[in-house]
């Protein structure tokens, strides 16, 4: 009888497997730690980017608000300018005819002056031919001097510059006196010293706002019948025209001298305006 033998086979794990498992476990833990760290940094970066975007959005919104405000201001300024342009255009429609009439009157005035001088000259020569006494000669000489004086004054008048309305522009007190002698307008001379000090000049109020002596320019505010007009950077001897209610001939302000915080000039008022204003005052009473 044969013996039955049971053979037991023991399988043992290799010696390197355990260290390998440990190493793999460490690597897995390290990978998890690295991933968590990267995830934290990513969250922080996202938060920072979100904060920057929010800041940029706020800045853009502020800029947009500022742009809207500027556009609104520009639109208002444009509207005001269009209104001023309409007023000027309406005035120009009136003054084109007046300008033509003023030029025609100026030509007539020059012709009349020439005829007057010629007539006086003829009269002088006639008197010289018919009167021989010394007394008569003295009288005639006096008339000749008067003719020469009138002729010189006329020549000086013609040397004055004319505005676009055809009016003569006086540059000093003597020329203002020459214009007074023509008898067509009333002249009110003024000197304003100091800024922001409104002063009554004739039927208007003038307030000096600034002076540029180097450029011979000034800025002023003119109040006419409770209406205020700002005139900026106006040159010397540059007339400022304006109309009173119920009148068709403009008055004008001319500044012919500027200094440190001071201006001097005159207000020119047509005699027709004075008559119209007086008639209006009587009818109102």
The per-residue DSSP string of the chain comes to -PPP-PPP------TTHHHHHHHHHHHHHHHHHHHHHHHHHHHHHHHHHHHHHHHHHHHHHHHHHHHHHHHHHHHHHHHHHHHHHHHHHHHHHHHHHHHHHHHHHHHHHHHHHHHHHHHHHHHHHHHHHH--SHHHHHHHHHHHHHHHHHHHHHHHHHHSEE-TTS-EE--SHHHHHHHHHHTSEEEEEEEEESSS--EEETTEEEEEEEEETTTTEEEEEEEETTEEEEEEEEETT--EEE--TT-SS-EEEEEEEEETTEEEEEEEEEHHHHHHHHHHHHHH-
User: Would you say the pTM of this structure is higher than 0.75?
Assistant: no
- Do residue 99 and residue 144 come from a single domain? yes
Of 105, 125, 159, the residue at which a domain comes to its end is 159
On whether residue 274 sits in a domain, the answer given is yes
> For all residues of the chain together, what is the average pLDDT?
75
On whether residue 221 sits in a domain, the answer given is yes
- Do residue 143 and residue 215 come from a single domain? no
- Do residue 132 and residue 214 come from a single domain? no
More confident of the two residues 2 and 101? 101
Of 159, 193, 214, the residue at which a domain comes to its end is 159
On whether residue 45 sits in a domain, the answer given is no
On whether residue 24 sits in a domain, the answer given is no
Of 102, 125, 159, the residue at which a domain comes to its end is 159
- Do residue 133 and residue 193 come from a single domain? no
On whether residue 68 sits in a domain, the answer given is no
Give the pLDDT of residue 256.
92
pLDDT of 101 > 90? The answer is no
- Do residue 137 and residue 214 come from a single domain? no
CATH code of 210's domain: 2.60.98
Give the pLDDT of residue 217.
92
Average pLDDT of span 213-222: 92
- Do residue 200 and residue 145 come from a single domain? no
pLDDT digit string, tens, across residues 17-38: 777 778 777 877 877 777 787 7
Domain residue limits at 153: 78-159
On whether residue 227 sits in a domain, the answer given is yes
pLDDT of 254 > 80? The answer is yes
Average pLDDT of span 250-268: 92
Residue 116 pLDDT level (bands cut at 50, 70, 90)? low
Give the pLDDT of residue 7.
47
Average pLDDT of span 227-232: 91
Give the pLDDT of residue 65.
77
- Do residue 106 and residue 192 come from a single domain? no
- Do residue 215 and residue 123 come from a single domain? no
Residue 134 pLDDT level (bands cut at 50, 70, 90)? low
On whether residue 169 sits in a domain, the answer given is no
On whether residue 136 sits in a domain, the answer given is yes
Average pLDDT of span 203-208: 92
The domain tally of the chain equals 2
Give the pLDDT of residue 21.
77
pLDDT of 44 > 70? The answer is yes
- Range picked from 54-58, 83-87, 142-146 for highest mean pLDDT: 54-58
Give the pLDDT of residue 12.
60
Give the pLDDT of residue 224.
92
- Do residue 188 and residue 264 come from a single domain? yes
């Amino acid at each position: 009888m044969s013996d039955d033998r049971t053979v037991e086979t023991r399988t043992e794990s290799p010696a390197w497997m355990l260290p390998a498992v440990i190493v793999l476990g460490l690597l897995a833990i390290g990978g998890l730690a690295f991933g968590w760290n990267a995830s934290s940094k990513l969250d922080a970066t996202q938060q920072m980017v979100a904060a920057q975007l929010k800041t940029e959005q706020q800045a853009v919104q502020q800029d947009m608000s500022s742009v809207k405000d500027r556009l609104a201001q520009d639109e208002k300024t444009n509207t005001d300018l269009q209104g001023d342009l309409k007023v000027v255009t309406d005035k120009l429609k009136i003054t084109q005819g007046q300008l033509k009439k003023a030029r025609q009157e100026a030509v007539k005035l020059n012709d009349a002056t020439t005829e007057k001088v010629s007539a006086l000259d003829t009269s002088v020569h006639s008197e010289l031919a018919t009167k021989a006494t010394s007394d008569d000669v003295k009288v005639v000489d006096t008339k000749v001097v008067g003719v020469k004086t009138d002729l010189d004054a006329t020549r000086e008048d013609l040397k004055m510059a004319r505005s676009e309305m055809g009016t003569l522009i006086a540059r000093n007190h003597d020329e203002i006196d020459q214009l007074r002698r023509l008898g067509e307008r009333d002249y009110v001379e003024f000197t304003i010293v100091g800024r922001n000090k409104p002063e009554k000049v004739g039927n208007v109020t003038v307030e000096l706002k600034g002076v540029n002596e180097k450029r011979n320019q000034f800025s002023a505010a003119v109040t006419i019948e409770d209406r205020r007009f700002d005139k900026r950077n106006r040159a010397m001897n540059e007339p400022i025209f304006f109309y009173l209610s119920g009148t068709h001939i403009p008055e004008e302000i001319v500044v012919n001298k500027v200094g440190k915080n001071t201006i001097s000039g005159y207000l020119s008022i047509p005699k027709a305006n004075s008559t119209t204003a007086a008639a209006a005052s009587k009818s109102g009473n």
